[in-house]
Amino acid sequence: MKGLDYVLLAGLWVEPRSGYDLAHWFQRAAHYYWAAHHSSIYPTLAGLEKGGLIIYQLAPSERGPKRKVYSLTEAGKTILQAWVGQPPQPPEIRDEQPVKVLALDLLPLEEAVKHLEAAKGRAQEQSDMYSAMLLQMDEEERDRGERHWLGPRLNLMRGIQIQEGYVRWCNEAITLLQASQNQRSKNAFVGS
Amino acid sequence: MKGLDYVLLAGLWVEPRSGYDLAHWFQRAAHYYWAAHHSSIYPTLAGLEKGGLIIYQLAPSERGPKRKVYSLTEAGKTILQAWVGQPPQPPEIRDEQPVKVLALDLLPLEEAVKHLEAAKGRAQEQSDMYSAMLLQMDEEERDRGERHWLGPRLNLMRGIQIQEGYVRWCNEAITLLQASQNQRSKNAFVGS
DNA sequence: CGGCGCATGTAACGGGTTACATGATTCC
DNA sequence: GGAATCATGTAACCCGTTACATGCGCCG
């Protein structure tokens, strides 16, 4: 069992879903902690089903082919529980943004600032999206029966916190960048 | 040119280093934004050298074989500059911790809290490590001539911010978890 | 009737991880 | 002399991404 297997089990524990739903979940709510494309999701779901950890019910879609809505079996729940009890593997991240920051002094000040502003904009957008999802989740809370909402809620809160932190850091970075540039020109002036 | 190529160029722009140094850098300072093992670093460095983007000088090590200390060529600097000017690819993350949070209600309260405390401890440790590196960087600032320190400094600040945010979130999460548990028992009591 | 969103899949390719492999030097 | 750290590399395997492939149903 690889990482994605457990992630899908956890996703289905929150609420029964189709492969298509899970793919969207990865693109939106889960985007800041796990990435997966539909082409890896479908085969993995098939494997889990063969292993008896999940089952699916065919459900009509309003538009498009029939949906395979998967849910955990008792066996699946047991496996998931055992995995959740273990300490997590250290996270694997590949984020180009901080790498580019390392060489920010290769760009003219103006362009460097523009890039940081862009990064800030993206973070703000994400933050707003998570906030909207949190609001929506609170509104739906009453009529949601079978759903386990605490985990997703905590993760949304974390997503918002991360993005807000990023926005603050972008502002600091812009300030420091401009300050260091001023320092450089002042030295050049004094030195000349 | 793949992602790692540019990351290594950026790493060498900060300061000339050997493959071994870069591997350590990934394990420590760069750990929160990029992962790479030495077995992928060495072949990639060889490729960059063949392409004329970096060159190395053999330097004796105090202990162990000779070190290949790589640095950017003009061509490498140009390529890096062009890459830094482009908007970054969206980050790719695989972090099991938030996935486990999704299914935290599968564990008894006590164990769930224990896991969050452990996560908090790890975050605090990381935060302290980054703080120590930041201090060290400030102390070394005087005698460091050729080094580009602003980028690494900004990234360390960000690392600290992220880990501190994580610690705060863990505390909130523990509180909410215990509150929801109380809620559940109260409902059970009223309902019975 | 074409395009878009829904919905599920397969296959080739690429890249990174795990494991294998080697060797120098110092400390105990 | 064995263990630990420094230092560089290779090869098999796994897994995920990119691209290919198919088909339904609504809206304009």
State the nearest residue by CA to the C1' of D27: A63
The answer to whether the Cβ–Cβ distance between B96 and A6 falls below 8 Å is yes
Residue A39 at interface with chain B, using a CB cutoff of 8 Å: no
* SS3 state at B97: helix
pLDDT of residue A142: 65
Q: Do residues B147 and B15 make contact, with C-beta atoms less than 8 angstroms apart?
A: yes
* Closest chain B residue to A180, measured at CA: B150
Please tell me the predicted confidence (pLDDT) of residue A102: 98
| pTM metric for this prediction | 0.93
Question: Is residue A108 predicted with pLDDT exceeding 50?
Answer: yes
pLDDT of residue B184: 67
Distances (CA, A) of B74 to B54, B78, B83, B161, B178: 9, 6, 14, 35, 58
Residues of B (64-103) placing their beta carbon closer than 7 angstroms to any atom of strand C are: 64-65
Please tell me the predicted confidence (pLDDT) of residue B147. 77
AA letter at A48: L
> In chain B, which residues from 33 to 72 place their CB closer than 7 Å to nucleic acid strand D?
38-39, 42-43, 45-46, 61-68
Question: What is the percent of chain A where pLDDT is above 90?
Answer: 83
Secondary structure element (H or E) that encloses residue A57, with its range: strand A54-59
Label residue A192 by pLDDT band (50, 70, 90).
very low
CA A114 – CA A174 distance, rounded (Å): 9
- Contact partners, residue B179, CB within 8 Å, separation at least 6: none
Residue A138: band (very low, low, confident or very high) from pLDDT cuts 50, 70, 90: confident
Nucleotides of D under 7 A from a protein CB: 5-11, 14-20, 23-26
Contact A35, A95 (CB under 8 A): no
Alpha helices in chain A (DSSP H): 3-14, 19-27, 38-50, 74-85, 96-102, 109-140, 150-191
Interatomic CA distance for residues B37 and B56, integer angstroms: 20
Q: Is A151 on the interface with B (CB under 8 A)?
A: yes
Residue nearest D18 (alpha carbon to C1'): A39
The CA distance from B58 to the nearest CA of chain A, in Å, is 25
Nucleic strand D within 7 A of Cβ B19: yes
Mean pLDDT of A51-77: 94
Does nucleic acid strand C have an atom less than 7 angstroms from the CB of A3? Answer: no
The Cβ of residue A190 has, within 10 Å, a number of other Cβ atoms equal to: 7
Contacts of residue B158 in chain A, CB cutoff 8 Å? Answer: 98, 169
List CB contacts (< 8 A) between A11 and chain B.
102
Residue range A133-150: mean pLDDT, rounded = 80
B83 touches chain A (CB under 8 A): yes
Low-confidence ranges of chain B (pLDDT < 50): 192
Chain A hits for B30, Cβ within 8 Å: 98
Q: Alpha-carbon distance B85 to A137, whole Å?
A: 39
Rounded Cα–Cα distance for residues B192 and B189 (Å): 5
Q: Does B102 touch chain A (CB under 8 A)?
A: yes
Asked if the Cβ–Cβ distance from A148 to B102 is below 8 Å, we say yes
- What is the structure's pLDDT at A181? 77
Name which of B88, B115, B71 is nearest B34 in CA terms. Answer: B88
pLDDT at A160: 98
Residues A45-72, mean pLDDT to the nearest whole number: 94
Whether A72 has a pLDDT exceeding 50, the answer reads yes
Name the residue facing A94 among B92, B98, B106 (closest C-beta).
Answer: B92
- For residue A165, the distance in angstroms to the closest alpha carbon of chain B comes to 7
Q: Confirm if A67 and A20 have CB atoms less than 8 A apart.
A: yes
Per-residue pLDDT for A185 more than 70? no
Please name the member of A80, A88, A161 whose beta carbon is closest to the beta carbon of B103: A80
